[in-house]
Structure 1
Amino acid sequence: MSIKDNLTISTAKLIRFLLKLTKHKATSLPGKIAYKMDKDILKSLSKNTKFIFITGTNGKTMTTHFVTSILKNHYNKVFTNESGSNMIQGIITSLLDNPKNENTVAVLEVDEANLVRVSEFIKPDYVVLTNIFRDQMDRFGEIYNVYNKILEGFKKCDDVKIIANGDLPIFSYDSLKKYNPIYYGIREDKKDSQLYDLDAEFNSDGILCPNCKSILKYRIINYSSLGDFSCPNCDFHSPKIDYNIENILSMEANYSKFLIDNEEYEIQIGGFYNIYNALAAISLSKELELTYEEIYDGLKNQEHVFGRQENLNIEGKEVIINLVKNPTGLNQIINLMLLEDDPISLFCFLNDNYADGTDVSWIYDSYYERLKKLNIKEVKVSGKRKKDMKRRLEIADIFDGEIIEFDYEKDILKAISTSKTNKIYILSTYTAMLRLREVLNLQ
């Protein structure tokens, strides 16, 4: 390394140390300052390293954690942007301790719109594509804009191996297939209708055939637009699946078990979407030729990630925190909540900062109405757009009583301690969740 590289890295490490010493987050600022000091610092930090990028709309963070947990059973040193800080500055921060003279592996969650930018500095060996759904319309626009940004990133990658969700139609377009991706999917035999006569879920994205613009039909639908699809008027159809879950043995609120090629796996977190995330991690691990035991242990021992079904004991109450940011992700969390038998309190926090997306109209594309099935004893809303959140829940008509507005930054502990139930579900957008964790002193 040059003198400039060493100075830049030492400065960033010092800033990281001081931030941690003062109990502040040290995920982005050290990398941000390092990048300002040296625009090419990532090149110096990435020598002798195998890079795995995880990108897509939903599931990046959980898939990254699954992959990291598995790879730690095989590699001596695995680096990752554990906090989910997936822009350039967060990635730089995560690599500050990467030794220059050792072979290492880095599993990096990469913002889907920034894959093209990150790829200018780091050439990934593998890229895992989770999905593309409508998200932050003010920033991304429609899903095809995101898809094209990902393709722009691949143009900068040499000999990259792509592992993609084969159940999502947009990943079967010829523009991605030319990279010869490895596909994973969920094709349970018990759901097989034999005929392509099913429609995708209401309000699904990307269900037009790219060739003739016909509406795709499905033989199996897992959720949203994910499943085994075919165009009724031309030859566009699902790809050959390389890694397939043929049977889901158990799916509970905080646990799932499933089969791949007669091998049994389990994860300590619920939700159909997390089975997809685990499958993505397994597919990558198989491509890396890891053993079944390494993969099984890595998945089973993966701990909960903050904001992803995070279960906490606060003021003697059970508090479950879930990050929500777009209709598809929220709908899957709602489906998971429907497994709940106990009476609950529901807190919904809605912000419209840049990191959340300034357009909050997506809450009207989500199935809040399904929450009527739950035994809800109280509903409270907070955040910058709490009035919009309150109105949406009033329209959903999920609660007979008054929906209360409050300031979670000042009164969250009081709201929890005085809640009418022992179990509280918090659905929060990104910046509200980060601030909530600061208020609760959760680092």
Structure 2
Amino acid sequence: MNIKLMLAVMAAKIAAFLSRMFGGKGSSLPGVVARKIYAGTLRDLAGQARQGIIMVTGTNGKTTTNNMIASVILSAGNKIVINQEGANLITGVTTAFIRYANWWGRIDCDYALLEVDEASFPKVLMEVTPQMVVVNNFFRDQLDRYGELDKTVTLVRDALKKLPEVQLILNSDDPLVAQMQQATGHRATFFGLAPQQRTETGSQQTREARFCPHCGEELQYHSYQYSQLGSFICPGCSFQRPEPEVEGFAVETVGARLRARVKYPQGEAQITLHTQGFYNVYNALAAFAVGNLMGIKEEQIVKGLLTYRPAIGRMETFSYQGKPAILNLVKNPTGYNEGLNSLLSIPGSKTVFMAVNDNDADGRDISWLWDVDFEHLASADHETDLFVCSGLRAEEMALRLKYAGIPREKITVIRELEAAIKTALEGPGQLTYLFSTYTALWPAQKILLALAEKEDTHAEGMSSVS
């Protein structure tokens, strides 16, 4: 029995209880306490996963992908550890194991599923050895914290190189991600969308990767999905979009659900997701690829994806006096653009709430708002009756909307969150769509839970499998 581990876990559990009692989430503090008492806490707890560890990293979609993988693995009857709420720094990862451990530091699990922040990825790999690593995408995010995008890509690439052996699951449509197989020498399975799945015109966004990561020539694209994701080829070397082993096509939105067909080595399936947002198909394809590599049956993978429910702020749906409300986390230009596309894809009139904070976890630099395509939103402003701007930087958000061309009479500023959310919910739109940066997200959800009912579509039927 490891006395130091036991003491660290006990102290961390007490810290978690006290944190929650005083209104905190207890998602990182227990990890901080445990690591102070015993530096080997994470290493020792992670080593108890019987079948191995799966990590998810990248810029957007880590929480959703990790939770979808969890649903797939649980559908096959496995026991898991997961940092489900998205606390993805090394302290949050440590806390996840502590939550599942008993007071003596013992964990009963088959797999540990960990979403890991890109900047923390090298630190976590020094203590935890994964069998699989999923890399979703790379976009500019919190420049004051991460620096330029190539720095983030280099951090992940160099950390992967140091692993003696690992199975990579990579997004074939993102050249910044697809390069990882050649750059690291590890075996890789690719997932992606068939070319030209995006038919709407609202995705003319800033491209994060114009040049080949290997030779520096400008990449040529046959088609885009969004941002730099698409069918690319380098005219200067042999680098091009890898043929994905798991490929989605025939993507459609049906009410509040997404459907897609999936081709994979053993056949073809139809998946249904109880969430919206075109980008979520990529997250589902990554989870499908993981399940298939693990030998999980097709029926169980499809069932697992069907039973997935969005985490806090990931297209989370509520009902206020019979009117739907959707809460969506936004943290960088690409994610916000995709949120706007999801908003505009929903028929009917809308009231839009936008909370912007600039705390450390959000990133102090909010200049990224000027790279978001709010002009696209302004071109369809007849669909939106009211814009409610809130949070610490509410005035800057309102100014950005004004310069995008939103009529001034449609914009209102209410810095106090509860009053702003209530105003939005009671707005004239048939639907309320709430955008929130990270530190405003938890308070916004708490307010919504008090004012509205959280919807659960779990009772809807299974999708077909072929």
**TM-score under structure 1 length normalisation:** 0.92
Hey, what does 2:57 align to over in structure 1?
Answer: 55
Hey, what does 1:405 align to over in structure 2?
Answer: 413
- Residues 126-137 of structure 1: matches in 2 within 5 Å? 126-137=132-143
Q: CA deviation at 1:53?
A: 0.5
Letter in 2 for 1:154: L
Hey, what does 2:172 align to over in structure 1?
Answer: 166
Hey, what does 1:197 align to over in structure 2?
Answer: none
Find 1:427's aligned residue among 422, 435, 446.
Answer: 435
Hey, what does 1:385 align to over in structure 2?
Answer: 393
> Does the residue aligned with 1:276 lie in a helix, a strand or coil?
helix
Letter in 2 for 1:218: Y
Letter in 1 for 2:279: Y
Hey, what does 1:196 align to over in structure 2?
Answer: none
Hey, what does 2:300 align to over in structure 1?
Answer: 294
RMSD: 2.3
1:215 correspondence with 2:226: no
Contact 1:219 1:228 in 2 (8 A): yes
1:359-391 deviation digits (Å, cap 9, x = unpaired): 111111111112231511111111111121111
Find 1:338's aligned residue among 338, 344, 354.
Answer: 344
Q: CA deviation at 1:102?
A: 4.3
Find 2:232's aligned residue among 213, 229, 234.
Answer: 229
1:396-419 deviation digits (Å, cap 9, x = unpaired): 113352421112335245424542
Quote the Cα distance in structure 2 between the aligned partners of 1:51 and 1:168. 24
Q: CA deviation at 1:257?
A: 1.4
Quote the Cα distance in structure 1 between the aligned partners of 2:406 and 2:254. 23
TM-aligned CA distance change 1:310 to 1:101, over 3 Å: closer
TM-aligned CA distance change 1:256 to 1:202, over 3 Å: closer
Q: CA deviation at 1:33?
A: 0.9
1:128-167 deviation digits (Å, cap 9, x = unpaired): 0000001111111222111111123224433211111011
Contact 2:351 2:427 in 1 (8 A): yes
1:94 correspondence with 2:101: no
Letter in 1 for 2:118: E
Unaligned runs of 5+ in 2: 455-466
Contact 2:56 2:135 in 1 (8 A): yes
Q: CA deviation at 1:20?
A: 3.7
Hey, what does 1:395 align to over in structure 2?
Answer: 403
Contact 2:169 2:188 in 1 (8 A): yes
TM-aligned CA distance change 1:215 to 1:188, over 3 Å: closer
Unaligned runs of 5+ in 1: 193-199
1:191-243 deviation digits (Å, cap 9, x = unpaired): 89xxxxxxx94421112023443221112311111111112343321223221
Contact 1:75 1:105 in 2 (8 A): no
Hey, what does 2:326 align to over in structure 1?
Answer: 320
1:16-70 deviation digits (Å, cap 9, x = unpaired): 2343455531211111111111111112211231111011000001101100111
Quote the Cα distance in structure 1 between the aligned partners of 2:339 and 2:307. 22
Hey, what does 1:104 align to over in structure 2?
Answer: 110
Q: CA deviation at 1:266?
A: 1.2
Contact 1:267 1:302 in 2 (8 A): yes
Quote the Cα distance in structure 1 between the aligned partners of 2:191 and 2:279. 13
Identity %: 32
- Residues 14-413 of structure 1: matches in 2 within 5 Å? 14-21=14-21, 24-49=24-49, 50-96=52-98, 97-98=100-101, 100=106, 102-173=108-179, 176=183, 178-188=185-195, 201-245=204-248, 247-252=249-254, 254-261=256-263, 262-314=268-320, 317-372=323-378, 373-374=380-381, 375-399=383-407, 401-412=409-420
Structure 1 residues 86-95 or 23-32, which shifts more? Answer: 23-32
TM-aligned CA distance change 1:15 to 1:214, over 3 Å: same
Letter in 2 for 1:369: E
Q: Which runs of 4+ in 1 moved over 6 A?
A: 189-192
Letter in 1 for 2:396: D
Hey, what does 1:8 align to over in structure 2?
Answer: 8
Quote the Cα distance in structure 1 between the aligned partners of 2:156 and 2:369. 26
Quote the Cα distance in structure 2 between the aligned partners of 1:298 and 1:439. 30
> Does the residue aligned with 1:401 lie in a helix, a strand or coil?
helix
Structure 1 residues 96-105 or 149-158, which shifts more? Answer: 96-105
Contact 1:116 1:156 in 2 (8 A): no
> Does the residue aligned with 2:26 lie in a helix, a strand or coil?
coil
Quote the Cα distance in structure 2 between the aligned partners of 1:381 and 1:101. 45
1:283-304 deviation digits (Å, cap 9, x = unpaired): 1111111001110001011112
Quote the Cα distance in structure 1 between the aligned partners of 2:26 and 2:274. 28
Quote the Cα distance in structure 2 between the aligned partners of 1:211 and 1:305. 36
> Does the residue aligned with 2:409 lie in a helix, a strand or coil?
coil
Contact 1:78 1:104 in 2 (8 A): yes
Contact 2:132 2:167 in 1 (8 A): yes
Quote the Cα distance in structure 2 between the aligned partners of 1:413 and 1:173. 43
Structure 1 residues 2-11 or 407-416, which shifts more? Answer: 407-416
Hey, what does 1:195 align to over in structure 2?
Answer: none
Structure 1 residues 142-151 or 93-102, which shifts more? Answer: 93-102
Letter in 2 for 1:267: L
TM-aligned CA distance change 1:94 to 1:326, over 3 Å: same
Contact 1:228 1:238 in 2 (8 A): yes
Contact 2:119 2:152 in 1 (8 A): yes
**TM-score under structure 2 length normalisation:** 0.87
